[in-house]
Amino acid sequence: MDRCSFEKEGIMEKERLVLCGRLFLTFAKIGALTFGGGYAMIPLIRREVALKQKWIEEKDILDILAVSESTPGPFAVNTATFVGQRMAGFWGALCATLGVVMPSFCIIFLLSAVLRRFQEVPMVQYAFWGVRVAVLSLVFSALISMYKQCPKNLFSYILAGVAFLAVTLLGTNAVVVLLACALTGLAAALMKGRGEEE
Query: Do both 60 and 144 map to the same domain?
Result: yes
Pairwise CA distance, residues 107 & 116, whole Å: 14
Query: Do both 8 and 68 map to the same domain?
Result: yes
Q: Is the pLDDT of residue 14 over 90?
A: no
Q: Is the pLDDT of residue 95 over 90?
A: yes
Which helix (H) or strand (E) covers residue 172, if one does?
Answer: none
Pairwise CA distance, residues 139 & 136, whole Å: 5
At 5 the pLDDT is 45
Query: Do both 36 and 7 map to the same domain?
Result: yes
Query: pLDDT grade, residue 15 (50/70/90)?
Result: confident
Query: Do both 145 and 178 map to the same domain?
Result: no
Share of the chain above pLDDT 90, in %: 12
Query: Do both 97 and 115 map to the same domain?
Result: yes
The residues, ordered by sequence, that sit 6+ positions from 124 with a Cβ below 8 Å of its Cβ are 118
Q: Find the domain containing 11 and state its range.
A: 3-150
Query: Do both 124 and 61 map to the same domain?
Result: yes
Q: Is the pLDDT of residue 13 over 90?
A: no
pLDDT tens for residues 126-164? 777 777 777 777 777 767 777 777 777 888 888 888 888
Give the pTM. 0.60
Query: Do both 105 and 165 map to the same domain?
Result: no
Query: Do both 190 and 95 map to the same domain?
Result: no
pLDDT tens for residues 122-131? 777 777 777 7
Query: Do both 126 and 156 map to the same domain?
Result: no
Greater confidence (97 vs 198) lies with 97
Split into its structural domains, the chain has a count of 2
